Amino acid sequence: MRDRHPPRTEKSSRRRFAALSVIVIVAAVTIAGGIIWRRGRPAVRSGACRNCNVLLITIDTLRLDRVGAFGGPAGLTPHLDRLASEGLRLTRTYSSAPLTLPSHASIMTAVSPPVHGVRTNGLFRLGAVPPTLATVLKSAGYRTGAFVGAFVLDARFGLNRGFDVYDDRYGEKHTGDPTEGAERRAEDVIKPATAWIVQPSALSPQPSSSPWFAWVHLYDPHEPYRAPEPYASQHEPYDAEVAYADAMVGRLLDDLQAAHQLDRTLVVVASDHGESLGEHGERTHGVFVYDVTMRVPWIVWAGSRLTSASTDALVRLIDVAPTTLDLVGVAAPSSFEGRSVLPEVGGGTWFGQAGAGRTAYIEAMDANLTRNWAPLTGIVSGGAKFIELPIPELYDLSSDPKEATNLFTRDAERARTLGALLREATSALLSRGSAAEKTTLSGDARQRLQALGYVASSAEAGNRVFTDADDPKNLIGLAEELSRAVIDFSGGARAQAMAAVRTIVRNRPTFTTAVTELASMQRQTGDLPGAIATLDTIARQGVADSRVLLVLAAYLDEAGQSDRSLALIDAVIAARPDDAEAYNSLGVVEMRRGRHDRAQAAFRRVLDLDPTSATAYANLGVDDLAVRDLPAAIDDLKQAVTLDTRHYTALYNLAIALHDAGRRDEARPLLERFVQEAPPAQYASDIAHVRALLAIR
Q: pLDDT tens-digit profile of 486-505?
A: 999 999 999 999 999 999 99
In this predicted structure, which of 26-35, 438-447, 480-489 has the lowest mean pLDDT?
A: 26-35
Note the pLDDT of residue 443: 60
Angstrom distance (rounded) from CA 608 to CA 617:
12
Could you tell me how many helices (H) and strands (E) the chain has, helices first? 26, 16
Nearest to 553 by CA among 541, 543, 539: 539
pLDDT given for residue 412 in this prediction: 95
Q: What is the largest CA-CA distance in the chain?
A: 89
pLDDT for res 454: 63
Q: Give the pLDDT band of residue 30 (cuts 50, 70, 90).
A: very low
Per mean pLDDT, which range of 392-401, 541-550, 674-683 is the poorest?
541-550
Average pLDDT of span 457-468: 65
Average pLDDT in the chain: 88
What stretch(es) of the chain map to CATH 3.40.720.10?
Answer: 33-355
Q: Does residue 373 have a pLDDT over 50?
A: yes
Stretch among 86-90, 415-419, 446-450, 639-643 having the lowest mean pLDDT? 446-450
Poorest-confidence range of 87-96, 165-174, 210-219, 400-409?
Answer: 165-174
**pLDDT grade, residue 208 (50/70/90)?**
low
**pLDDT interval class at 307 (50, 70, 90):** confident
Instruction: Please report, for residues 176, 371, 458, 510, 544, the alpha-carbon distance to residue 548 in angstroms, rounded to integers and kept in the order given.
Output: 17, 12, 11, 13, 6
The tens digit of pLDDT for each residue in 355-366 reads 557 899 999 999
What does each C-alpha distance from 537 to 91, 511, 560, 630 come to in angstroms?
A: 48, 12, 19, 43
- Is a pLDDT exceeding 50 seen at residue 124? yes
Q: What percent of the chain has pLDDT over 70?
A: 85
Taking only Cα atoms into account, the Rg of the chain, rounded to an integer number of angstroms, comes to: 26
CA 154 – CA 62 distance, rounded (Å): 20
Structurally, at CATH architecture level, domain 1-12+613-697 sits in Alpha Horseshoe (1.25)
210-257: per-residue pLDDT in tens?
Answer: 899 999 999 999 999 999 999 999 999 999 999 999 999 999 999 999
Whole-number pLDDT of residue 270: 98
Would you say the C-alpha torsion 56, 62, 63, 69 has a positive or negative sign?
negative
**pLDDT tens readout for residues 133-143:** 999 999 999 99
Instruction: Summarize pLDDT for 178-197 with one digit per residue, the tens.
Output: 334 478 999 999 999 999 99
Mean pLDDT of 2-12: 47
Residues of the chain with CATH 1.25.40.10: 1-12+613-697
Strands (DSSP E) found in 151-261: 165-167, 212-218
Q: Are 547 and 576 in contact (CB under 8 A)?
A: no
Q: Check: CB of residue 231 under 8 Å from CB of residue 240.
A: yes
CA–CA separation, 401 vs 384, rounded Å? 10
Name the CATH superfamily for 33-355. Alkaline Phosphatase, subunit A (3.40.720.10)
Q: Which residue has the higher pLDDT, 382 or 354?
A: 382
Q: What is the mean pLDDT of residues 121-135?
A: 92
The span from the CA of 322 to the CA of 335, in Å, is 11
